[in-house]
Structures are given as structure tokens and as C-alpha cells.
Amino acid sequence: MQRIMLRGKLHQARVTHAELNYEGSCAIDQDLLDAVNIREYEQIDIYNIENGERFHTYAISGERGSKMISLNGAAARKAAVGDRIIICAYAPMTEQQLEHYKPSLVYLDAHNNIVRTSKDIPLQLA
């Protein structure tokens, strides 16, 4: 049996561009893609913190060092420039792979600078 597990997450990224007539779905600064180990053309899920929209798309490489998060084509209708979003990638894993598995978590500030990385989400308290 395999489980679909969170592999990487860019948390609270800010949308910098929304280009309705541009090919490709979500351009992400290549430095950010590297930090979270997302490959160009890989499927990603995007969760818009501002309006609750959740959708699948794919990543394309944005200019390295630009801090770009550009929603393109149909995805441009799902968020506005300045919206906070969460970008996640998932992967199927066997029970054996899960024994020592931890995701790559990258936390961003309001300017898409990396403020910290982690392998664990903090325990949610009641």
C-alpha cells in the first residue's frame, strides 16, 4: 500500500503577479523551488489563505532571486496580487519509506524571503 504524503510546502507565499494571458500555471522563483525541492512541471496544489480557493496546477521556473510567485492562465483567476497562499507538493510513499520520512517545509515573509525551514509542523494544541 502507498500513502500520498506532503513532500514540500512553501508557507504563506505572496502572489506577486497574476497573468491571465501567459502560458504556464505558476511561475516560482527558482531559488524557492530549490529550497522546497519542487521541479519544473511538477504538479502542485495551491491554497489561497485569503479566499479559501484550493486548486491543482503545475510549477514553472521563475527568475532566480526575483521572489516571484506568478499565477498564470486560469490560475490567475484564483488569487489576486498580494494574496497569501500555500504551495504544496505531494508524493506516493510506501510504509517502509515513511519510517524516517519528513517533508521539506519553507516559511516565507511578506516579501517571499525565506525566514525559516523545518521538517516538522508544530503540534496543534486544543
Kindly state whether residue 123 falls inside one of the protein's structural domains: no
Residue 123 CB coordination number (10 Å): 5
Kindly state whether residue 21 falls inside one of the protein's structural domains: yes
74 appears as a binding residue in the annotation = yes
Nearest to 12 by CA among 102, 113, 80, 89: 113
Nearest to 10 by CA among 120, 104, 102: 104
pLDDT, tens digit (0-9, with 9 covering 90-100), for 28-58: 999 999 999 999 999 999 999 999 999 999 9
Distance (Å, whole) CA 29 – CA 24: 14
Task: Supply the range of the domain harboring residue 110.
Answer: 2-115
Catalytic residues: 25, 58
Kindly state whether residue 125 falls inside one of the protein's structural domains: no
Distance (Å, whole) CA 115 – CA 94: 32
- 3-class secondary-structure state, position 97: helix
Kindly state whether residue 94 falls inside one of the protein's structural domains: yes
pLDDT of residue 121: 87
75 appears as a binding residue in the annotation = yes
Q: What is the dihedral of CA 64, 70, 75, 80, to 10 degrees?
A: 160
Kindly state whether residue 121 falls inside one of the protein's structural domains: no
Kindly state whether residue 61 falls inside one of the protein's structural domains: yes
80 appears as a binding residue in the annotation = no
Kindly state whether residue 126 falls inside one of the protein's structural domains: no
Domain count, the chain: 1
CATH code assigned at 77: 2.40.40.20
pLDDT, tens digit (0-9, with 9 covering 90-100), for 73-106: 999 999 999 999 999 999 999 999 999 999 999 9
13 appears as a binding residue in the annotation = no
Distance (Å, whole) CA 67 – CA 111: 7
pLDDT of residue 24: 75
One-letter identity of residue 61:
S
Kindly state whether residue 75 falls inside one of the protein's structural domains: yes
pLDDT of residue 100: 92
Q: In this structure, are residues 58 and 28 in contact, taking their beta carbons and an 8 Å threshold?
A: no
